[in-house]
Structure 1
Amino acid sequence: MTDTIYAVLAIAMVLTVVSLLVPMAERFRLPHTVLLAIAGMSLGFFGAWLVSANVKLGALGDAFVGLDKLEVGTDVFLPLFLPPLLFTAGLTIDVRRLFDEVSAVLLLAVVAVLVCIACVAGVVRLATGMDFVVCLLLGAVVSTTDPAAVIGIFRDVGAPKRLSILAEGESLLNDAVAIAAFGLFTSILVSQASPGPVSAGIAADPTGAIGTFLREFVGGLLFGFLMARGAMLMLPRLGDSDAAIASVTVSLSYLSFILADSYLHISGVVSVVMAALTVAAYGPTHLHPQQWATLRKTWAQLEFWANCLIFVLASMVAANVLMSMSWLDAWGVVAVAIGAFVARALVVFVMLPALEKVRLVQPVNVRYKTILVWGGLRGAVTIVLAMVVFGNDALPESTREFVALLAVLFVLFTLFVNAPTLGLGMHLLGLDKLSRLELALRDRVLALSRANVDRRLRQIIRQHNARVEGIDVDPSSAGGEEIEAVPPDLALDLAERVKVGLITLCTREKELYLDLFEQQTLSRRMVAVLAARADRLIDAVRDNGVAGYEKWLLQISRPDRGFRVALWLHRRLGWQKMLTERLADRFEILMVSQSVLAELAAFNTESIADLLGADAEAELASVIEGRQQAVDSALRALSLQYSGYAESISARQLERAAIRFEAVEYARRLREGIIGREVYDDLIHQLGERRSAIADRPPLDLGLELAKMIERVPIFASLDHDAVVEVSKRLRAVVALPGEKFIRIGGPSDSMYFIAAGEVTVKGAGFEVTLKEGDFVGEMGLVSDRPRSADVIADGYCHLLVLYRKDFRALLDKRPSVRSEIETVAARRVAENEGKAAS
């Protein structure tokens, strides 16, 4: 029998065993990795016994022989298993939410790793007396975390989604930081073991080593991003081949690691992580929804295989190592555990609250912090690093055995102690118990469900005029059953019921966005933005109820930092592309929000009233109406300036809906046999061409061609072309934000403004005037040099042309007719203002 047959039998046996462990893990509510470690060590011990006892078990025995031949060398663990593990972790994370919690994630990922390395190294050094650099290497190996168990608990108890983002982001980024530190300490130890001119320099110059570390880290970030962007240019051009798309991403993960690590000598791990995050950010906007879902499923399968093989193979190797375990090793793993969990507690309970106080991080409940500390399990990455150290012949044997043994023991400690007791900790902290609000909601849902079932049964009996055995229903009853009253101890006040209703509405809002995306009536980019906003709304309501909801809505209604940067670039440098994109995004978001809010209002009327009461439904209707008014106002403000763009967006969405309906109709005709496959394929091809034609948003023209805008201002309407060109050279276009006060009382009179589009309000002493497109304001200061006598506030997005004093005077000197017209209007305005002030 060939080695290939042995290897196939071994792989088949391992895949069968690890698959059977999945339902067992669900049954006993244990992380799958716990059972994988047990299975791996069991296979290792059993295989060693079979070999030593020379027992023949036929195909089963040959499978164990294959396992012995299949054992991967420890030097292969890093390049073979790390890329799929890290790439999957990065691919599944919500990048937009990750950036929302970037301060906390960086604290847990970067600072926590450094604190963990320092604490573990210090405690282990005191406990064992081992060389400090060796202890630092051990700290780097055990500082990576596996968030699967704690995320599962957060999901079970309905914790805010941002806590899962914290755990996922921490695990992903601390893997990169820890492995980079791992490489640094390994190189120092290798240099100490093999003295030479270069190695001596490394050992003697820690600053140079840190500089190398930073260079590799930043280089990995840049290389991973560039590799992923190149892949994203390729993926949409692969057509409908899911296999080809998956193959390119697999190639991306391994090439990012190998090229960076072996050819460019920068961090391959950081490169893979950055590549994965880049694909996660751009993938949903570049691939069809079904292709993206298929890609994520493919990577979940690859991660499952990699994780299982790592634990099984590494546990088999570790089984032999554990045979030589001594009491000193036991004390060493206790020291590692103390250092690791003390470090984690310091970060979560000391450093994280500091960020909360300066409002860089939203507050985290103490109970969840406790789970974050105790849920710092170690998993596959730690095992891989331990095996890499164990197989590194450049290190002294004592160092290799010390680090590998304690790291594996610590992983087993977290799997066999922390993981099984997470559920107990959740119970002690009361996280597994339904709150009074949840209990009341559960009972209300049950009562409504029973009433609806009873009502439906009555309808069936009346329709069929039949008796149904075993169902105690009075067919002569005309009305529905009374809904059971909520027990007094579970009765909710109005504020609590409104909070439940808001959470329900926010959840429904996210579902509507995803439905629009599936129907291809919402762009891929916008669904990512809007779904993330809905998640944040849910978290805000969970924390602070209606106040949190309204605070978050106020926050997103204001221009974000990106918009302000785009506006600054436009005003100062004349760059309009970024501002154009931001305004177009806002148009699409407002129009989609308008449609979704209308559906939420109907959903509130149909589903919330029975569940939470008429008074809660009325309160929620008021909240929705207020939000609708805000959206309508913002959309009107944009439409004042860009009247044709709203119609273009609406037409595009209608065309998308028409294409979707036509596709459904063609599929029905094909199933009915009315049309053949060739006709159907041709029709679908035509729909594809129409869909491609509207794939990009219609261009949003900012109207920054000054000559055209000048012609829209009445006082310049009679100017000839040459005069318009001269004026255009002296005017600057600016965009005023809604509510922006661009002229203040008492301010310097150094400019005047022409309103090219939009409306502004002039507020002075005892008067208030609204100016619209074609009007101008601020001319009094230019004519009389007096300080500003009124505030001028933009009512919406306003497109203004600003003329500065020095240019104004130069213009009047060359164009007397313009001077005369402006002075006439200014004199009339002075008289009007004086008359209003006198009255």
Structure 2
Amino acid sequence: MDIFTIITLLVVISSIFGYINVRFLKFPTTIGLMVMAIVLTLLILLSGIFSPKITSIAESTINQIDFGDLILDIMLSFLLFAGALHTDWEQLKEQGFPILIFSTIGVLASTFIVGSIFFYVVNHIVGFEVAYIHCLLFGALISPTDPIAVLGILKQIGVPKQLEIKFVGESLFNDGVGVVIFLTLFNIANQGVDNISASEIALLFTEEVVGGLGLGLALGYLTFFLTKTIDHYETEVMITLAVVMGGYLLASTLHFSGPLTVVAAGLFVGNSARETAMSQTTQLYLDRFWELIDVFLNAVLFVLIGFELLIISYEKQYLIAGVLAIFIVLVSRYLVLKLPIAFFSKRLEFVPHTDLIMTWGGLRGGISIALALSLTDDMNREFFLTVTYVVVVFSIIVQGLTIEKLIKKMGVSVGKLDKSH
């Protein structure tokens, strides 16, 4: 089956699921699409009992899609830019310090807490032997909250702005930081601890983070300059598209963080260029274009996540480890949020029980699965892919469907949005 046919099938299925969800289920879009994809996948697996050819064809089709490259090299740049474009810089700046801690030190601390606890649990309780460095890799890929999943849910809940900006800011930045930590640990795992120095690790981290942010701001300013000199909405929208695609490619070539590049560019364009360099007509078309890109790619992505159920392993030890990982990830997230929230709550306004709400609302998504797929076989790829999938599915379906109820239970008012949009 050629790639165009596969893409066509995904778009058709996503559209049908989207209609069913809006017309009947009325779940948040990302959750509804993924639930239906999982149900369809389970039906395919059950039908394989009577006709193995059906399951074989479905598995072959999914295996033709490079899920990791599709998310990390194609979808992620568009989705992060769309999210950053509509993020209020003034509110982000006001909550800057806690967001900075959550998305840097928080991700790093969570990586080691998750990795260390998981290493002990898997080796001593589950009875599956796995190396510590590989558990740290799991900690790195599962610690960052997924901006795609988080933004998709928050749009339809209507949480208070001071809480929303913490979720949004953390998820936009910790994703890029998490990828950098993962790549650093990946290099250590490949080369061995003795063959890589602390200075090399620090240089890699600095190059990725600082280089990515710097390139993103430069591209944002370039967009500002170009759009200020013309008034032609078609061309101006195309310029933003070129910045996302070209910027991500350039960042990868320079070994900078592509996610941080597009986030920085999106923030600059959405807050500086948009208001001062673009006409109201351009702003309208820019918003509509990127909203449509966001909705379309989210739909395809979460349908794909559901279909990934076809390729994971169902070993009993893997599934047990996945269930235990859910609790480890949640406890670790609560621990790394508790101290900074307690510290900053004396200076900044926090809604009641922010630590609990952000723990339960810290959803994991396609980025975690994509990073798990990038592991090699000698890093226990199948094991970590299954564990990651279990955590992601629980996160999106269970946490995603109950986060609104938790927020209300904590005494925080929500401004209900129309869930059909």
Cα displacement (A) at 1:398: 4.9
1:148 to 142, 148, 151: 151
Matches of 2:281 and 2:323, distance apart in 1: 48
- C-alpha contact 1:7 1:67 (8 A) present in aligned 2: yes
Q: Which structure 2 residues correspond to residues 368-387 of structure 1 after superposition, within 5 A?
A: 368-387=354-373
1:120 to 100, 114, 121: 114
Work out whether 1:39 is the aligned partner of 2:36: yes
CA-to-partner distance for each residue in 1:93-124, whole Å, 9 max, x for gaps?
00121111111211222222122212211110
* Distance of aligned partners of 1:285 and 1:5 in 2 relative to their CA distance in 1, 3 Å threshold: closer
Work out whether 1:168 is the aligned partner of 2:168: yes
- C-alpha contact 2:361 2:403 (8 A) present in aligned 1: yes
* Distance of aligned partners of 1:366 and 1:185 in 2 relative to their CA distance in 1, 3 Å threshold: same
2:222 to 230, 233, 248: 230
Q: Which has the higher strand share?
A: 1
What TM-score, normalized to structure 1?
Answer: 0.44
Q: Which structure 2 residues correspond to residues 641-656 of structure 1 after superposition, within 5 A?
A: none
Number of the residue aligned with 2:89: 95
* Distance of aligned partners of 1:365 and 1:212 in 2 relative to their CA distance in 1, 3 Å threshold: same
Number of the residue aligned with 1:406: 387
- C-alpha contact 2:134 2:379 (8 A) present in aligned 1: no
Q: Which residue identity lines up with residue 292 of structure 1 in the other structure? A: Q
Q: Which structure 2 residues correspond to residues 273-672 of structure 1 after superposition, within 5 A?
A: 273-282=263-272, 283-321=274-312, 324-357=313-346, 359=347, 362-389=348-375, 395-431=376-412
Secondary structure of 1:376's aligned partner: coil
* Distance of aligned partners of 1:39 and 1:136 in 2 relative to their CA distance in 1, 3 Å threshold: same
Gaps of 5+ in 1: 193-198, 390-394, 435-839
Secondary structure of 1:366's aligned partner: coil
Matches of 1:344 and 1:252, distance apart in 2: 34
Q: Which residue identity lines up with residue 258 of structure 2 in the other structure? A: G
Matches of 2:76 and 2:110, distance apart in 1: 21
What TM-score, normalized to structure 2?
Answer: 0.85
Cα displacement (A) at 1:138: 0.9
Matches of 1:384 and 1:18, distance apart in 2: 23
Q: Which structure 2 residues correspond to residues 716-731 of structure 1 after superposition, within 5 A?
A: none
- C-alpha contact 1:71 1:313 (8 A) present in aligned 2: no
Q: Which residue identity lines up with residue 363 of structure 1 in the other structure? A: E
- C-alpha contact 1:36 1:308 (8 A) present in aligned 2: yes
* Distance of aligned partners of 1:426 and 1:228 in 2 relative to their CA distance in 1, 3 Å threshold: closer
Work out whether 1:268 is the aligned partner of 2:268: no
Larger Rg: 1
Matches of 2:413 and 2:38, distance apart in 1: 32
Number of the residue aligned with 1:247: 238
* Distance of aligned partners of 1:317 and 1:433 in 2 relative to their CA distance in 1, 3 Å threshold: closer
CA-to-partner distance for each residue in 1:270-298, whole Å, 9 max, x for gaps?
21221112212222211112311321221
- C-alpha contact 2:158 2:414 (8 A) present in aligned 1: no
CA-to-partner distance for each residue in 1:736-778, whole Å, 9 max, x for gaps?
xxxxxxxxxxxxxxxxxxxxxxxxxxxxxxxxxxxxxxxxxxx
Q: Which residue identity lines up with residue 316 of structure 2 in the other structure? A: W
Q: Tell me how large the CA RMSD over aligned residues is.
A: 3.1
* Distance of aligned partners of 1:68 and 1:404 in 2 relative to their CA distance in 1, 3 Å threshold: closer
Give the count of matched residue pairs: 403
Q: Which residue identity lines up with residue 384 of structure 1 in the other structure? A: A
Secondary structure of 1:180's aligned partner: helix
Matches of 2:7 and 2:363, distance apart in 1: 32
CA-to-partner distance for each residue in 1:195-253, whole Å, 9 max, x for gaps?
xxxx9632xx234212221122111111121122222222234432x332222212211
Secondary structure of 1:147's aligned partner: helix
Matches of 2:4 and 2:266, distance apart in 1: 36
CA-to-partner distance for each residue in 1:43-92, whole Å, 9 max, x for gaps?
44455667882789xxxx9x979955863454443111111121112111
CA-to-partner distance for each residue in 1:7-46, whole Å, 9 max, x for gaps?
4651442232242254168x55x43222222233344445
Secondary structure of 2:220's aligned partner: helix
Number of the residue aligned with 1:779: none
- C-alpha contact 1:87 1:253 (8 A) present in aligned 2: yes
CA-to-partner distance for each residue in 1:416-467, whole Å, 9 max, x for gaps?
3222222442453344699xxxxxxxxxxxxxxxxxxxxxxxxxxxxxxxxx
- C-alpha contact 1:147 1:167 (8 A) present in aligned 2: yes
- C-alpha contact 2:62 2:307 (8 A) present in aligned 1: no
Matches of 2:362 and 2:9, distance apart in 1: 32
Matches of 1:65 and 1:342, distance apart in 2: 35
- C-alpha contact 1:307 1:380 (8 A) present in aligned 2: no
Number of the residue aligned with 2:419: none
- C-alpha contact 1:221 1:274 (8 A) present in aligned 2: yes
Matches of 1:6 and 1:147, distance apart in 2: 30
Q: Which residue identity lines up with residue 122 of structure 1 in the other structure? A: S
Q: Which residue identity lines up with residue 216 of structure 2 in the other structure? A: G
* Distance of aligned partners of 1:3 and 1:257 in 2 relative to their CA distance in 1, 3 Å threshold: closer
Q: Which has the higher helix share?
A: 2
* Distance of aligned partners of 1:317 and 1:231 in 2 relative to their CA distance in 1, 3 Å threshold: same
CA-to-partner distance for each residue in 1:146-183, whole Å, 9 max, x for gaps?
42366357626xx3x12111111011011111111111
* Distance of aligned partners of 1:363 and 1:238 in 2 relative to their CA distance in 1, 3 Å threshold: closer
Number of the residue aligned with 2:179: 179
Number of the residue aligned with 1:610: none
Cα displacement (A) at 1:314: 3.4
Matches of 2:52 and 2:345, distance apart in 1: 63
Matches of 2:155 and 2:76, distance apart in 1: 23
Identity of aligned residues (%): 22
Gaps of 5+ in 2: 124-129, 416-421
